[in-house]
Each structure stands twice: as structure tokens, then as C-alpha cells.
Structure 1
Amino acid sequence: MKKDDRILVIIGVLLLIIALSNYIFQLSQGQHWSKVLWFCKIATLIAAFGFISRNRLIINIILVSSIVAQTRWIVDFFLFLFGQGMGRNEWMSYGHPFMIITSVIMHSILIPLCFYGTYKLGFDKRCLKYSIILFAIFLLIISHFVTKEYLNLNCISYPCDYRHDDYLRISQGHDLYFSPYYLIYNMIFWTVGAIPSYLLMKYLFTKVKYLNKNNN
């Protein structure tokens, strides 16, 4: 196995360990099994298998999807550090240190690692449609039907920027939230958001000379 391939496999194994340890710890704390469906976890697990198998399509799919799903989290995380968070990371004020550390790792490294994997393996133009099918449609629909609405898995019931103790006010104050229409809204948002993400990555990895060495 070449050195570059070994590095990719090591990255995959580390991602797998981080995601599984986070999920297993949640289960040990009595939390619902569906927590694995949070984008950060499921995307990290899928990316892990992509790196281990050196499958560029899988890595590309996660890269395009993560830019849509993780960017707002990253921005809010830095705002949270300075006491100006919008609410997306408010749970860190009372969360377990292990959960905080592993969650921060999953959210912060997925984009740069998948960018690196794409640089090494190349860019597959099919990644947009699969990104939309897997995450903008399938994952959100599953999240909606297998969990209680108050869990707000992948923000399918109301915006994740609302603070956790605002549940009652949210449920009483907005007709769109906690309805199938908000699920449809999220599916459209993720689909539309994936397009500029895809176009940017396509440009970088097919037009920028330094980055397109592995693209035909």
C-alpha cells in the first residue's frame, strides 16, 4: 500500500473511532438510538468508510454535504466562544465534556479532511445528485419519521438556533414548525444549498491547476 493510501486509511479509522465512541457514549447515557442519525455522526461514519476504501465518490458526497450542514455550526461555535452564540451550540453549556470534545472534532475536521481526500483521489461529478438523495431527501425524511418531534433531529422540527428551553414557546408560536411543511422546507434548503457547494468544489478541483491533478 502506498504512503498516500495508508494516510487515507488511517484518517478513516480515526474518524470511525471518533464517531463510534461518541455514539456509544450517548447510548450509555440512556439517549435514544436515533442520535446516530445526526448529520455529524452519520456523515463521519460514511466518510470513514470512504477513506478506508479510498472511494472518492463517497468522500466527495460528504464534502459537498458538510459545507451545507456544518458551516452554520462552525460559525455559531466561534460566536458561542465569545458569548454571542445564536443557540446552535448552547447545549455545550451543560453537556458532558466527552460529548463536547468528540462533537467539536466531528464538526470541525470533516470538511478539511474530505477536502484533503478529494485532493488526493479526485473529484467525481456525480456527487451532487447523491448528496441530495442521501442527505437532503433520505436522511431528513428518516429523521422526521423515526424520532419524536421535540428531539429536533437534524433541525427537522424547528431551527436549531433556538435555545433548548424555548420548546414550549416555539411549539405555540409558529404554524410552520413541527409540521411536514417544515420538513419540506428543509429538504429544499439542503438541496439548494448543495448546488453552490458542489459548483465551488467542482471549480476548485477541475479548474485550479494545483488541485486538479487527479481529475480527468
Structure 2
Amino acid sequence: MAQTPRILIVEDEPKLAALLQDYLQAAGYGSSIVDDGLRALAALRAEPPDAVLLDLMLPGLDGLSICRELRASSDSRLAQLPILMLTARVEEIDRLLGLELGADDYICKPFSPREVVARVKTVLRRVRTPAVDVTPPLLLDEGRLEARLHGIALPLTPVEFRLLQALHARPGRVFSRSQLIDAAYLDHRVVSDRTVDSHIKNLRRKIADAGQGIDPIVSIYGMGYKLDWDAADA
């Protein structure tokens, strides 16, 4: 019989923590609550759970520091522990992404508890499923700024090529719009988020034309974009 996955909820708002616990338990997960950063780190080290919901602002020790401690740990169970970070501000997510903390997901308050449960399921499925190379044959030639999907040339502009290159280099990682702007515009010109969205739209269309309608570029509300070939095949 499979063991019930355990989720540690690190949240100092009692009502929110209890609500998350109720929804997780209803979905078949075991869970416990810690409302202090220092106690949370001690609990994680004593008995690592299957995943942790980690609030950014905590008494004792903030979520940022806890995340860094876990990822730097010599204990592989902690270094690879799935972390879903909770924050009260959308703009904070952009800063967290820029720090490359290594969290597996970022969720902005206020959120639906059902969405949190769905995100937990997705993260656990990803870490428990053996890695399978589902990436279609995408070839990138940086010197020529040329891309081919299934052997079909993608008619990309230089900006579109660099966007695809950045996303393809780290599949599954969420890139904020500002990070994609830095990757796409080497002259560091000032462009708007809407410009990035327009380039992504064109990139999606060209990939779909060559890949029989697939769309591997996933929009993450309030955060940015990621490349997910698995989702494209779903």
C-alpha cells in the first residue's frame, strides 16, 4: 500500500494554514502546520516531508532563508525537497525568480486552496515520475540563429530565436518577462512586457505551424512563461 504523501505547511496565518490543511487532507495528503521559520527548519531537518508549502514572510526565519538552507544542504532529501513558495505580492515573485532560489513553484496570495492542491499534485507527480525525454527534435544553431523542429525550419527573428533558446535551455523553469527581455535584447534596450507577449505569440504560432499545432510555451499568470513539451502533448 502506497504511503500517504506528507506536506508541511509553513504559514503564520492560522486561518489560512488550517484551510490549506483541510483541503490537502480532503485530497488524501497528510499534513502538519508550523508557524515559525526556525521551528520549520528544525522540523524539515528532523523528518523531511514529501513537499513543503513555504510562506515568504515568517517570524524567526523568513522563507527566503529557509529555501536557501534547504538547497545548500548536504542531505539530498532536503536539497531536492519540492518547495512551493507562497507570497502576498505578484511583484515579489519576479524578484524571487531573479534570485534563482530553486523553488519548484511560486503561488501568489490570495489563492484558491484548490489551486494550491493542484499545484502540489503537479510538483509531486513531476518529482516521482521517472524522467522521460519527451522533447521533440528541436535543433538550435546559435551561430546562424537558426532553429529546426522535426527538421522543419522555424522562420524566427533574432529576438524570437533568443527567447526560444532561453526557454529551451531550462525546460520547466518559469521565466519572468524581465528575464526574457534580458535574454532577448542583448543591447539592454527598454521594452515593455507587452512587447515580450507579442514575441511569444508569434513564437507560438511558428512552433505550431511546424509541430502540427503543438504549443509548448505555457503562460503562468502573474509570473511569465515556461517551456513544457509534456504539456504540449497533453
TM-score bucket of the superposed structures, by smaller chain: under 0.3
TM-score by length of 2: 0.25
Between structure 1 and structure 2, the one with the greater Rg is 2
Q: Which has the higher helix share?
A: 1
Normalised by the length of structure 1, the TM-score is 0.27
